């Protein structure tokens, strides 16, 4: 499996699960068919487009490569056609969100390095790729972004992107390095959801605010 193919695969897999998470959230908010497709595409490609603008990849891949649009449409059809199946996962939006986050953190960091940028922007842009789409989804659906409230999210993305960047700098095998980063970040995310791991908050009023939405 060539390196380019591997990262294309990671990116398209992340695109699919993010689009799925976006389509489900939009469906639950009673948006219409086009609104669902638009939110799915924005969740899937929004973070990557911002990353591409920041690294000078013009035009952004999400716009110029038809596969991203194709995969997004496939995810919308899945969310609409196989909804009962999708719904069985207790928190489907969060679940797919957490998977896509890991894929995007690693693929985003790799792409920034590939364009010749340093370790710090690569890690930050991995995080932007991973959380950008989800933040846009929540902003569009008019709620405080999950990632600012659900604690182990951006931090998990940061971890995955850092593993990828560090590993590439140390010359580790590209065959398993991305999977390690993905497993680490997505795994921590899912575990934190399951066991309610939290980072501390510091507000004066101690009553916890419930999850938005």
Residue 174 CB-density burial (10 A; 0-12 exposed, 13-18 middle, 19+ buried): middle
Q: In this complex, which beta carbon is closest to a copy of itself, that of residue 112 or of residue 165? A: 112
On the question of a cis peptide bond just before residue 59, with omega within 30 degrees of 0, the verdict is yes
Q: Output the CA angle 153-159-162, nearest 5 degrees.
A: 140
- The reply to whether 203 sits near a copy of itself by the rule CB under 8 A is yes
- The reply to whether 77 sits near a copy of itself by the rule CB under 8 A is no
Those residues with Cβ within 8 angstroms of residue 80's Cβ, 6 or more apart along the chain or in another chain: 23, 27, 36
Query: Where does this chain touch a copy of itself (CB under 8 A) — which range of 11-19, 36-44, 100-108, 173-181?
Result: 36-44
Binding positions for a copy of itself, 131-190, rule CB under 8 A: 135, 139-145, 147-149, 151, 153-155
- The reply to whether 90 sits near a copy of itself by the rule CB under 8 A is no
Contact 14, 185 (CB under 8 A): no
Identify the DSSP state of 200. Answer: -
Applying CB under 8 A, the site for a copy of itself has a residue count of 60
Contact residues: a copy of itself, CB under 8 A:
26-36, 38-39, 49, 53-56, 58-60, 63-64, 66, 69, 80, 83, 112, 117-118, 120-121, 124-125, 135, 139-145, 147-149, 151, 153-155, 198-205, 208-209, 212
């Amino acid at each position: 499996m060539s390196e380019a193919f591997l990262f294309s695969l990671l990116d398209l897999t992340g695109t699919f699960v993010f689009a799925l998470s976006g389509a489900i959230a939009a469906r639950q908010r009673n948006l219409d068919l086009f609104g669902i497709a638009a939110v799915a595409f924005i969740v899937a490609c929004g973070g990557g487009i911002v990353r591409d603008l920041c690294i000078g990849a013009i035009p952004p891949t999400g716009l110029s490569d038809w596969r991203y649009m194709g995969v997004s449409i496939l995810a919308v059809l899945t969310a609409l056609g196989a909804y009962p199946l999708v719904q069985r996962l207790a928190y489907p939006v969060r679940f797919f969100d957490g998977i896509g986050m890991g894929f995007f953190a690693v693929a985003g960091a790799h792409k920034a390095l590939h364009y010749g940028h340093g370790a710090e922007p690569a890690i930050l842009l991995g995080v932007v790729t991973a959380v950008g789409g989800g933040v846009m989804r929540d902003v569009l659906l008019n709620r405080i972004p999950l990632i600012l409230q659900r604690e182990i999210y951006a931090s998990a993305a940061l971890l995955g992107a850092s593993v990828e960047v560090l590993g590439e700098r140390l010359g580790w095998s590209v065959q398993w390095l991305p999977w390690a980063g993905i497993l680490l970040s997505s795994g921590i995310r899912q575990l934190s959801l399951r066991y309610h791991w939290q980072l501390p908050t510091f507000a004066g009023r101690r009553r916890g605010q419930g999850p938005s939405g």
